[in-house]
Amino acid sequence: MGTSNHVLEMPIGYRFVPTDEELVTCYLTNKVLYRPLPAKIIQEIDADDLYSRHPKCLVKETAYGCGEGERKWYFLIYQDEYFLGKISEKLMVGNEVGFWSYIGEEEPIFNSDGDVSAFKIYLNYFSKTTSNAKKTNWRMEKYRLPTRSCVRKNRQVEEWIVGRIICGRQYNEVL
């Protein structure tokens, strides 16, 4: 799978700042169910490719930055273990240059009818190995559909989740 090579473009002056519900209903649900997406603004990437690189290298090489001074990047992630709700303690990044660590528990995302439409979980990125880890200013939010909404009689669904990678400000960065 790897990363797809389609060009991601937005008209000048537009910013992509979707709500959680918009990410889930307009992008993730449509992708999983083979429906067209409203725009080709979210980069598709294989989970192995995503976790093989430091987030700074990943967003520089593959993603279109979206909103807030290009500090947020969105990915449709293929075959991530989180699709089925699996949560590993840590996700190592290529050659142990760092790792993603989950924070807290999954949070439900409710649609306008008050039903659970998805789940969201947060991760922080740490540089180095687990024994001498250093927290960085990189975070990720991952969204998945409830397992029941992915089960269709005699119909295949694709194993996709949505990830929002965020580069927070450095402490020494001038505001």
Euclidean distance between CA atoms 34 and 21, whole angstroms: 18
Q: How confident is the model at residue 156 (pLDDT cuts 50, 70, 90)?
A: low
Residue 100 lies in a domain: yes
Which H, E and C letters describe 88-154, residue by residue? Answer: CCEEEEHHHCEEEEEEEEEEEEECCCCCEEEEEEEEEEEECCHHHCEEEEEEEEEEECCHHHHCECC
Residue 104 lies in a domain: yes
What's the domain range around 111?
20-167
Q: How many domains does the chain have?
A: 1
Euclidean distance between CA atoms 20 and 25, whole angstroms: 9
What type of residue sits at position 124? N
pLDDT tens digits for 16-75? 889 999 999 999 999 988 899 998 889 999 988 888 889 988 888 765 666 445 789 999
Residue 37 lies in a domain: yes
Residue 78 corresponds to which tokens in the numbers above?
Answer: 């293929």
Residue 173 lies in a domain: no
* 4 alpha carbon, distance to own chain's centre: 15
The terminus-to-terminus CA distance of the chain in angstroms comes to 39
Residue 131 vs residue 122, higher pLDDT: 122
